Amino acid sequence: MSRRWRWSTLNPLRVGANGLPFEAALLARLVIVALLVKGYDALPGPGVAFIAAVEVEVPAIGPFIWPRLAFYLGAAAVLSNLAPRTGALLAACSLFLVSLWNMGSFSQSRLLPACLLLLVSLAPTSSATTLFRWQVVLLYAGAALNKSLDIDWWNGQFIHAYSASKAHLFFYADLADVAGRWPARLLSWSAMALEAAVAMAFARARWVPEGIVCGLALHTGIMAWLGFDFEAFFYTVAAAYAAAVTWPGRIEIQPPSGRVGVWIVGTLARVEWSGIWHVQKAVPMSPLRAAPTGALCVSAYHVDRVDRRTGAAAWRYLWLHHPTLLVAATAVLAYPSSYTPLGWVRVALLTAGLFVVGVPAMLDSRRSRNADERAVRIEAGPGDSRVGAERGRGHGPSSCP
C-alpha cells in the first residue's frame, strides 16, 4: 500500500475508488451530503416499532443515540473513500433501523436514501447502474399505482384541498371559482402521467434521458405549486438520476495563459493534492493550437473527427447531450425554494427552462445515443490540454482548436 495510494484515496474529490463504480460512488456521496445538509442525520428515537422485539431502550453515546453515531461513521467512510461500500451499508442500516423502530416516523425521505445506499453497498460493480435504474422504476411505479387507485387523485381533491389551504397560492380560490376543480384535476392527472412515464422510461436504459426530463419536470412542477422542496427526497431522487446516466468519460479544463492562469493552476494543484484531476502547472503551448482566450471548446461522442462548438453553442450542446447537467442545475437553482418569493421566481424559471431545454434534449438524444464513445473537453484558453484518464477510457489528443 503506497503512500500515494493512501493520499489519493482519502481525497474527497475522488469518485470511484476502491472498486466502486463512478456512478455508485457519486450516488453515495450525493445522498449522504443531501441527508446531512437537510438535517436527516438527526435520526428519531424509538417509538412504536414494527416488531415488538425491537422496542427496547437504546443506550446513548454522549449526545448521540448509537444509530446516529453509526450513520456518521458510515457517512465519513463514504465521503473519505476509506470504505465506501461498508460506509454506505452502515448508513443504510441506521436509516432502516430507525424506520423499523418508529412507525410514526416512517418517511420516504428516509427510506429512498436507505434503499439507494444499500444498493451501493451490495450491488455488483458491473450492474450497479442497472440496479439504480430499477430502484427508480420501483419508486415511480409504486407512486403511480398508489395514486391511480385513489379517487382523490382522479377528482383532484388532494390538490384542491392542499391548494386551498396554502397562503402562497393566493390566486387559487379565484381560479377555482372560475374553473371549478379542473385545474386541480389537470395537475393530478399530469402528476400521475409523469410518474408512470418516468417508471416506463427508466425500465429501459435508452430512455433514461427522457425519464429524467419527465422526472425533473414533475418534481420542479410540484415544487413550484406546493412551494416545498420535499426535503431530502428531491435531492436523493436527483442523485439517483445522476447515477443512472452515462457521464462524460473525461473533462479537460485549460485555464487561460498568463499570471491568472498560473495562479489558477497553482491553486488547483495545491487544493487537489493527489493529482487525480491531472492539474498541471506548466503546459507547453503550440502556435497551431492557439485560440482566442476564453473560447470554450467542447467535443463529444466522436472525438476523432472535428466536432467543435464554441460559446453559447457549446453550452447548448452540453445541455442537450448530458442531462446530468439538468440534474445538477436543478439541485443548485431550486434550493432553497420553500415559501420565499425568490424561491418561487427561481423555480418558475427553472420549470420553464426545463421544458424549453428538455424537449429538444429528448429528440436530440435519440439521434446520438448509439455513439460508442463519449467525451467532453472544455478549454477556456489556448494551449495543449491534459487528459484525465481516471475512468480508463482511452482517447487521443484533444481535437479542440
Which region, judged by CB under 8 A, interacts with other proteins, from 66-74, 106-114, 340-348, 375-383?
Answer: 106-114
- Nearest residue to 31 (alpha-carbon basis) of 97, 95, 127, 83: 95
Q: Is 104 in the site for other proteins (CB under 8 A)?
A: yes
Name the residue type at position 282.
A
Q: In the complex, what is the shortest distance from the CB of residue 127 to other proteins, in angstroms, rounded to a whole number?
A: 6
Q: What residues between 330 and 389 interact with other proteins by CB under 8 A?
A: 370, 372-373
> CB atoms < 10 A from the CB of 169, how many?
15
For residues 73 and 145, which CB has a smaller minimum distance to other proteins in the complex?
Answer: 145
- Please choose, out of 60-68, 304-312, 340-348, 391-399, the segment that lies near other proteins by the rule CB under 8 A: 391-399
Distance, in Å, from the CA atom of 106 to the CA atom of 195, rounded to the nearest integer, reads 22
Question: How big is the chain, counted in residues?
Answer: 401
Name beta bridge partners: 60.
Answer: 65
Residue 241 to residue 220: CA distance in whole angstroms: 14
279 residue type, one letter: V
Residue 354: all three cell numbers together: 426545463
Residue 114: φ, ψ to 5°: -65, -45
3-state secondary structure (DSSP) of residue 51: coil
Q: Which of 267, 258, 324 is nearest to 285 (CA)?
A: 258
Backbone torsions φ then ψ of 191, nearest 5 degrees: -60, -45
Q: How far is CA 151 from CA 148, 164, 189, 195, 352, in A?
A: 8, 19, 11, 17, 30
18 binds other proteins (CB under 8 A): yes
Instruction: Give me the least distance between CB of 30 and other proteins, in Å please.
Output: 19
Q: Which residue is listed with cell 416545498?
A: 228
Is 130 near other proteins (CB under 8 A)? yes
- Single residue of 123, 238, 298, 347 touching other proteins by CB under 8 A: 123
Closer residue to other proteins, CB minimum distance, 125 or 267: 125
Q: Which of 37, 61, 138, 285 binds other proteins (CB under 8 A)?
A: 138
CA angle 208–214–215, rounded 5-degree value: 85
Cα distances (angstroms) measured from residue 208 to each of 241, 248, 295: 8, 15, 31
* Nearer Cβ to other proteins (33/131): 131
Q: List 253's β-bridge partners, or say none.
A: 378
| Of 41, 58, 79, 134, the one binding other proteins by CB under 8 A | 134
Residue span binding other proteins (CB under 8 A) among the ranges 28-36, 141-149, 175-183, 375-383 = 141-149
Of 86 and 399, CB closest to other proteins = 86
Scanning 147-155, 172-180, 260-268, 347-355 for contacts with other proteins by CB under 8 A, the matching segment is 147-155
Q: Which is nearer to other proteins, 40 or 233 (CB)?
A: 233
Judged by CB under 8 A, the residue of 127, 293, 340, 368 near other proteins is 127
Element (H, E) at 266: helix 259-271
Residue 338, CB half-sphere, CA atoms under 13 Å: how many? 6
In this structure, are residues 217 and 194 in contact, taking their beta carbons and an 8 Å threshold? Answer: yes
Residue with smaller CB distance to other proteins, 130 or 267: 130
**Minimum distance, C-beta of residue 312 to other proteins, in the bound complex (Å):** 30
The one among 69, 111, 268, 348 contacting other proteins by CB under 8 A? 111
**What is the footprint of other proteins within residues 155-174 (CB under 8 A)?**
157-158, 161-162, 164-165
C-alpha closest to that of 113 among 125, 97, 95, 131:
95
Residues 200-259 that bind other proteins (CB under 8 A): 205-206, 233, 246
x-marked contacts with other proteins along 65-84 as a string, rule CB under 8 A: ------------------xx
105 scored as a contact of other proteins (CB under 8 A): yes
Pair 233, 111: CB distance under 8 Å: no
Which residue stretch of 14-22, 69-77, 274-282, 357-365 sits at the interface with other proteins (rule: CB under 8 A)?
Answer: 14-22
Q: Side chain identity at 85, as an amino acid letter?
A: R
Cell reading at 206:
435508452
Q: Which parts of this chain interact with other proteins (CB under 8 A)?
A: 18-20, 46-48, 50, 52, 55, 83-86, 102-106, 108, 111-112, 115, 118-119, 122-127, 129-131, 134-135, 138-143, 145-147, 149-150, 152, 157-158, 161-162, 164-165, 205-206, 233, 246, 370, 372-373, 392-394
